[in-house]
Amino acid sequence: MPKIKHILVTGSSGQLGQSLKAIANNYPDVEFTFVARTDLDLSSEQAIHDYFQHHHVDLIINCAAYTAVDKAESEPTLANQINHLAVKQLAEIAKYQNTKLIHISTDYVFNGQQYRPYIENDDVEPQSVYGQSKLKGEQALLTILANNGLIIRTSWVYSAYGNNFVKTMLRLGQERDSLNVIFDQVGTPTYAHDLAEAIMAIVNTETFNQQKVATEIYHYSNEGVCSWYDFAKTIFELSNIDCNVSPIETKDYPTPATRPHYSLLNKAKIKQQYAITIPYWKDALHACLNQLAQQEQH
């Protein structure tokens, strides 16, 4: 099969979309089209249909998602449209146009009650509307697109772009002397830049470029494990911010959506299949903080 020449990235204003945009110049042989909601509105079935009447690409990387986890509890229809029905439609278009599709999913498809890192075929049991909508999206893609699809579940995404835990902690750390952060939710942060690099590494393999590669699910996050409390402490240490962090339990910080207490992802499959080296989460965080510091200087 010919190498992938034209890639469409949805959700271009999100963290992963912007991270892919930042490394696109490293792939001069590939034409990238980055679309935000104004270009391709995934909340509208008609808008998706109309867009693909006029556009044909080799690969769609679907970074777009409804990610407001708590808000989804009160907006289930919208979350379902973007995270499930739009994915179903993209899968149907990919099948019809013979296009490959990489779709980004989440650790929230699991119930978070396990004691070892989740592998791709572990039982799923989402605990929130967001998690349920993302799972339905996965299932629709797997049903429609037997070949040429790839689902990557990830967790705790942050970057130098948009709103995320790292940027929130940096802001609050400057504003306050002390913070309470949850310590009984454990997982691994994912630097969106590293995930973007991993996606492009996959795209450039012969395996992925084959005509009929079977659709599969993979897990990707940075290496290592921490709680949100550990994450916050490390952000302040690496940034030399003097803010006292106290550990609290999830029950002390109630939210509309239930989050998994344990959502460590086993990444053996993606590492073996695509020979990907994954950075340790503290090293990745250090890289992100450096990027944020450089942005402030310009």
Indicate which CATH number applies to the domain containing 36. Answer: 3.40.50.720
Q: Range of 127's domain?
A: 6-163+190-223+264-280
One-letter amino acid of 202: I
Q: Is residue 27 part of a domain?
A: yes
Q: pTM for the whole thing?
A: 0.97
CB burial class (10 A; 0-12, 13-18, 19+) of residue 213?
middle
Q: Is residue 259 part of a domain?
A: no
How many separate domains does the chain show? 1
Q: Is residue 80 part of a domain?
A: yes
Q: pLDDT, tens digit, for every residue of 102-141?
A: 999 999 999 999 989 999 999 999 999 999 999 999 999 9
Q: How big is the chain by its Cα radius of gyration, in Å? A: 19
- Which of these is catalytic: 51, 66, 118, 130? 130
Q: Is residue 97 part of a domain?
A: yes
Is 108 a known active-site residue? no
Q: Is residue 130 part of a domain?
A: yes
User: How many other CB atoms sit within 10 Å of the CB of residue 298?
Assistant: 4
d(CA 291, CA 272): 29
Q: Is residue 12 part of a domain?
A: yes
Q: pLDDT, tens digit, for every residue of 225-284?
A: 999 999 999 999 999 999 999 999 999 988 999 999 999 999 999 999 999 999 999 999
Q: pLDDT, tens digit, for every residue of 190-230?
A: 999 999 999 999 999 988 988 788 999 999 999 999 999 99
Q: Is residue 238 part of a domain?
A: no
CB burial class (10 A; 0-12, 13-18, 19+) of residue 90?
buried
